Amino acid sequence: MKKFLIVILTIISINVSAQNDNLPFKELGAYSEEFSPNNIVARMIEGLGYRFYWATESLTDKDLKYKPSEDSRSSLQTLEHIYGLSVFILYTFEGKEYDFSQDEMTFTELRNGTLKNLKIVYDMLNENADISQMQVRLNLNGQSLAFPFWNAINGPISDSLWHTGQIVSFRRASGNPINPKVNVFIGKTME
């Protein structure tokens, strides 16, 4: 029975590891040789994805429950917010209206979903989506509002970066700092 349990746990561990290997943004790709609006926003999304990937890698239950003060969000609540922002960003690119509704999700679902949403946006930018014509559309308390794409940059994209930094800070405070080999400047994890 003990051997059977060890085999099962090994298979589960390998499966979880394989799922992590399939997630986007483990490292940054080569940068574009030309500057264009799409390339710049794509690099911002890719940088966000890379930071989020490593900020959330190997978080523990203790990390997810951590909150710096009684009236602040926990790490898990912050991850829920970042996921919602990733949906908001994706909806901007899909021309959909964001309504702030969100189902309850596990940590793994939030992490994977956020990374996959950002990857879809990144791919759309590389396929030359016309961001000059995009609108940030949202439904706030039953009122439909629309804003130019600029608001996506200073809104959900920047907010996602901000909150990803909070996750890094929270996990350090809970005793599980980010991998010290992560180099956000070059977008690689050093060996």
pLDDT at 3: 60
Residue 16 pLDDT level (bands cut at 50, 70, 90): very low
pTM for this model (two decimals): 0.88
88 occurs within a structural domain: yes
Q: Classify residue 45: in a domain, yes or no.
A: yes
The radius of gyration of the chain's CA atoms, rounded to the nearest angstrom, is: 18
* Mean pLDDT of the 111-118 span: 99
Q: Tell me, what DSSP letter sits at residue 133?
A: G
Is 77 part of a structural domain of the chain?
yes
Q: What's residue 129's pLDDT?
A: 85
Residue type, 60: T
Higher pLDDT, residue 21 or 96: 96
Region 11-21: what's the mean pLDDT? 50
How much is the pLDDT for 18? Answer: 45
Least confident of 21-25, 93-97, 132-136: 21-25
Residue 34 covered by a domain: no
At residue 136, does pLDDT exceed 60?
A: yes
Give the number of other Cβ atoms within 10 Å of residue 186's Cβ. 9
pLDDT of residue 191: 84
Tell me if residue 4 falls in helix, strand or coil. helix
Whole domain around residue 111: which residue ranges? 2-29+39-189
Environment class of 89 (CB within 10 Å of its CB; exposed 0-12, middle 13-18, buried 19+)? buried
Q: Indicate whether 145 belongs to any domain.
A: yes
% the chain with pLDDT above 90? 85
Work out how many domains the chain is built from and give that number.
1
Q: How confident is the model at residue 135 (pLDDT cuts 50, 70, 90)?
A: very high
How confident is residue 4, by pLDDT bands cut at 50, 70 and 90?
A: low
Which pLDDT band, with edges at 50, 70 and 90, does 6 fall under?
low
**Which secondary structure element, helix H or strand E, spans residue 182, and what is its range?**
strand 182-183
Three-class SS state of 189: strand
With CA atoms as reference, report the closest residue to 84 among 145, 123, 138, 130: 138
Q: Looking at residue 62, which CATH number applies to its domain?
A: 1.20.120.450
Residue 107, domain member (yes or no): yes
110 near 80, Cβ under 8 Å?
Answer: yes
Examine residue 81 and state whether it is found in any structural domain, yes or no. Answer: yes
Q: Would you say residue 121 lies in a domain?
A: yes
How far from 120 is each of 50, 181, 189, CA to CA, in Å? Answer: 14, 27, 23
Average pLDDT of the residues of the chain:
91
